[in-house]
Amino acid sequence: MIIDRLERAIVEGEFGLGAMISEETLAKSFGVSRTPVRDALAALAGTGLVVILNKKGSFVFQPTIEDTAILCEYRTILEIQAVRLCHARARTEALASWREAIAEMDRASTDDAVAYGRADSRFHRALFDHCGNAYLADAYRLAAGKVAALRTHLTARSRPRRDTSYEEHRAMADLFEAGDIPALETLLAEHIDRTRKVYWEALAEPAAPVRPALTLKET
């Protein structure tokens, strides 16, 4: 589907943050009219990944420091509650999913920020896959795309940050297995807050010019 391919292009860095997205270029790449492309952009605008400006066009979202602070606060609230529910309702399944995500991190090349970002997203998404509360899972999905994109664009490309992230994910899984949920909640909150600081440092750097992808093949 066009929407899935376009979402992946944004999340995995084929389009830069703030990049203009050409409806005409995408339509040619997919061999379709502009209508399904326009529909896909409208759907992604609902998730916050795309911003549509009247008479200007469609753009990949461009986060601000204030926006990332609110996003991290939102994540902390949801993920801590999801941890509690997972431990109470689906301890074995959630832990297995976490261990699989960590194994995926192990397999990611040291220079492959996209692969590591996918595994990182899988780790956090597992909380909502197993929490047993569809409303909580829906609340997370509202921001999941933006969080995944920011991992790729702003955090996963930093090797020191990836090393720290990896060790924190392993520690969180160990605490979950041991049943030390208070310590896990503390570490999870610190983990997300550290991510917020990385966002801020990255956003404070001079922005490189962004360009739309010239082609986007349906792969």
Q: Which residue, 148, 142, 130, 139, is CA-closest to 91? A: 130
Angle between helices 134-150 and 2-11 (to 10 degrees): 60
pLDDT digits (tens, 9 = 90+) for 190-207: 999 999 999 999 888 755
Which of 9-18, 44-53, 104-113 has the weakest average pLDDT?
Answer: 104-113
What does the pLDDT average to over 66-85? 97
pLDDT of residue 178: 98
pLDDT of residue 211: 45
pLDDT of residue 153: 86
